[in-house]
Structure 1
Amino acid sequence: MAAPVEKREIAGQVKIFNKYTLMCAGYGLASSFVNNGLLRRPFLSGGHRHIAASVIGGVIGYFIGRFESRALAEKEFYIQDYVNRHPEDFTKEQPKKLSEITQRWLPVR
């Protein structure tokens, strides 16, 4: 069953470099440094492994960001759909002032 058109339009494009891409790429790089430290190698040895771990972490981060974007878009779609179907539950009222809600208070001295 295909998703409604409105739902697909809300999701939009996911940026390649989002916060999860950079964060997971950093974790991949750090894991490569830790691996070198645990094996008692110089931290910067094996540059190809550093690059590979960063790229793999970045790809994982991209998919995490894409999942989050789609999940939030779907949630927003269902909430907006509910509000549109039940306008009587979401009436526009004038906001009350605080003085209308609370009782008058005079301090006793």
Structure 2
Amino acid sequence: MTEQEHDISWALKLLEREGSYKENIVAKYSSHALFGAIGLCAPIVANLIYRRPIWAGIHLHVLMGAGGIGVGELLQRRENYVLAKRDAILRDYITRHPEDFPPPKRETYNDVFLEWVPIR
């Protein structure tokens, strides 16, 4: 078993983010906005069901909207935790079992494409 045969740096590099990666604003705040809107709309729906003015109990709108934003933040953190844990498990498996990750073989287009025969 040579050093080149068990070089797993290419597999570990697949799990890393690029240095220039920047999360866009939609991905960063979409859960906050969604759950904040749900929290804001819940008292409105309740007011419509009970036939009250839409903005009656404005304090509930503010509290439920803020609570929804908090729930969105918690879910975002939970997602980041689960994904980081998954990546840690994958990194550990790759380092413990390098024989399962041979270096990929380079293929040319000639190997990938089938021979083309025109049908006339």
TM-score between the two structures when normalised by the length of structure 1: 0.73
The equivalences for 1:1-109 within 5 A come to 18-109=29-120
Counterpart residue type for residue 106 of structure 2:
P
Counterpart residue type for residue 54 of structure 1:
G
- Percent sequence identity over matched residues? 29
Q: Distance in 2 between matches of 1:103 and 1:65?
A: 45
Runs of 4+ in 1 over 3 A off after TM superposition: none
Gap regions ≥5 residues in structure 2:
1-27
**What does the per-residue CA deviation read over 1:39-61, in whole Å, with 9 as the maximum and x for residues that have no partner?**
11111221101001112212222
Q: Distance in 2 between matches of 1:101 and 1:52?
A: 58
RMSD: 1.8
Q: How many residues align?
A: 93
Q: Higher RCO, 1 or 2 (CA under 8 Å, sep at least 6)?
A: 2
Q: Distance in 2 between matches of 1:19 and 1:103?
A: 44
**What does the per-residue CA deviation read over 1:30-79, in whole Å, with 9 as the maximum and x for residues that have no partner?**
11111111111111221101001112212222211111111111011101
Counterpart residue type for residue 27 of structure 1:
I
